[in-house]
Amino acid sequence: MPNYKILDHWARKAKEEGYAARSVFKLDEIHKRFPVVPRGGKGIGVDLGCFPGSWSKWLIQQGVRVVGVDLKAPELTGGTWIVASALEVTAEQLIEAAGGPIDLLVSDMAPNTTGNKFTDHVRQIELATRALDLAKQVLTPGGAFVAKVFDGGDAPAYVKAVQATFREFKRIKPDATRDSSVEFFVAGRGLR
């Protein structure tokens, strides 16, 4: 089992640049390879599973107004935080907190892992499915989406569901992803 307490290149870089987690470089690379932030950074984005705040901070730096949802709010200014489970937050709550049309929904959600790959995969797919369901309800036509997925038996069906929901689609495993990780990301643009 790898020791994740040892800071690797990406974790050190995140710390040096003032981010709470290395995951910021995953979103940055996804956007560089498949732009999802509204042009000019204008727009509203929802960050599901926003704690500790690296993705939200990055989005805010791009000019996006952020509504973040997690069981704990990040220590970050510039966003609106809903302290709740993404499995329980409603589309109406997101729309009300956004105060305008939502252009982007991102999700870096993962369950508290158990070490059982099957159980962890099933629980993570549940979170990714919830993110897609909320995206369908809250995104403006043409909106964009990014979600983490743990690879496994249910991943192909989930990927097909995302492909069917957006006009453009990309599956990405960013460089900042640990070699031992089973995660990859799906990104969609142009909500149908």
Q: What are the catalytic residues?
A: 148
Q: Backbone phi, then psi, for 166, in 5-degree steps?
A: -125, 150
d(CA 147, CA 144): 10
Asked if residues 137 and 92 have their Cβ atoms less than 8 Å apart, the reply is no
Q: How deeply is 190 buried, as exposed, middle or buried, from its count of CB atoms within 10 A (0-12, 13-18, 19+)?
A: middle
Q: Say if residues 49 and 109 touch (Cβ distance below 8 Å).
A: yes
What is the Cα–Cα distance from 66 to 38, expressed in whole angstroms?
12
